Chains A and B, each alone.
Chain A
Amino acid sequence: MIATTYAIQWVLIFATSALLILVGAVGVIAVKNPVHAALCLIMTLLGVAVAFVAQSADFLAAVQIIVYAGAIVVLFLFVIMFLGVDRREHIHFEPLVGQRAFAAGGVAITVGGLIVLMARSDWVSGASSVTTKLSSGAGNVRELGTAVFTTYLFAFEATAALLIIAVVGAVLLARREGSTEGEESA
């Protein structure tokens, strides 16, 4: 059995994360109520966080929970409530002809192809990276920080600018037309 070749704890962790991820994902696409879907999404995100920890990406697991589950999903819920769209959607009725069939086919081929590619290609087993080692003994956070602030500094600055632009854009987009609302609230 699998348990004999691999350490049991890792298998269990994998199983857990897999379960959380898959159940949550299926839930997202299957439930009718958007709020329920958001909660399923959280489940998936937690599962991914578990997987991150298992792969010694501690910092990222933390960021995943704080940013993804904690901020993004909350934002989703805000908008759902705001727009009042927590009503149910008619799932069983598909107005576009053949959409589901083609979608299923396309997705199946894509996923199947990816798996086959993975199975057939030669793994690059090569030497571990010298410059950006995964764990040089200084801890994951320090490693990641060093990489981000030295090798990928430009990307870091660019994404910072991107965030600001996104915030400004979102504010502009969500404004109501006309200034009557603004004057009253001011």
Chain B
Amino acid sequence: MNVPAAWYLILAAVLFGIGAFGLLTRRSALIMFMCIELMLNAVNLTFVTFARTLSDISGQAIVFFVMVVAAAEVTVGLGIVVSVFRRRSSTSVDELSEMKG
């Protein structure tokens, strides 16, 4: 008997939490991106677990597409990071505060 799905789900939830905490706490843009990847992986894990419990391949299909979109997102995101931080020497997002007020 396989381990119950709940364990994987809790694992995914905790992974999501860690990723969210890191996103809010770290200042470096690149680390923040990595935390986003953590969160996406947590979601993927959840979907796959549900695919297993409900015996439905759709869960895995969704994960497939999430991965594709994540790849696209990272591409564009890192492009933006490059173009923004080329002028500055640090990647701290706290410096991008011209939109205040």
Interface residues of A (CB under 8 A from B): 5-7, 10-11, 13-14, 17-18, 21-22, 25-26, 28-29, 34, 37-38, 41, 44-45, 48, 51-52, 54-57, 59-60, 63-64, 67-68, 71-72, 75-76, 79-80, 82-83, 85, 89, 91, 94-96, 99-100, 103-104, 106-108, 110-111, 114-115, 118-119, 123-124, 126, 128-129, 132-135, 140, 143-144, 146-148, 151-152, 155-156, 159, 162-163, 165-167, 169-174
Q: Which residues of A contact B44 (CB under 8 A)?
A: 48, 60, 64
Interface string of B79-95 (1 = CB under 8 A from A): 11111011000111010
**Are A173 and B82 within 8 A (Cβ)?**
yes
Taking chain B's interface residues, is the majority helix, strand, or loop, or is none over half, making it mixed? helix
Q: Report the number of A-B residue pairs with Cβ-Cβ less than 8 Å.
A: 244
Contacts of B31 in A (CB 8 A): 28-29, 34, 37, 89
Are A169 and B2 touching (Cβ within 8 A)? no
Query: Are A41 and B34 in contact, with the CB atoms below 8 A?
Result: yes
Least CB distance from A165 to B in Å reads: 8
CB within 8 A of B65: which of A55, A100, A159?
A159
Contacts of B30 in A (CB 8 A): 34, 37, 76, 79-80, 85
Please judge, given known A-B contacts A64-B67, A72-B37, A162-B72, whether A107 and B2 are in contact too, CB under 8 Å: no
Within 8 A of A (CB), among B25-76: 25-28, 30-31, 33-35, 37-38, 41, 44-45, 48-49, 51-58, 60-61, 63-65, 67-76
Contact B16–A111 (Cβ < 8 Å): yes
Q: In the bound complex, do residue B17 and residue A51 qualify as a contact, i.e. CB atoms below 8 Å apart?
A: no
In the complex the two chains form, what is the Cα distance from A128 to B6 in whole Å? 18
Q: A3 to nearest B CB, angstroms?
A: 11
Asked whether, in the complex, the Cβ of B25 is within 8 Å of the Cβ of A57, the reply is: no
B99 at the interface (CB under 8 A from A): no
- Beyond A26-B18, A60-B48, A110-B17, whether A34 also contacts B85 by CB under 8 A is no
A106–B25 alpha-carbon span in the complex (Å)? 12
Chain A residues with CB under 8 A of B25: 29, 94, 99-100, 103
The answer, among A22, A100, A146, A166, for a CB contact under 8 Å with B72, is A166
Instruction: Report if A6-B3 is in contact (Cβ < 8 Å); known contacts: A72-B70, A163-B72, A173-B76.
Output: yes
A-contacting residues, B1-32, CB 8 Å: 1-4, 6-11, 13-22, 24-28, 30-31
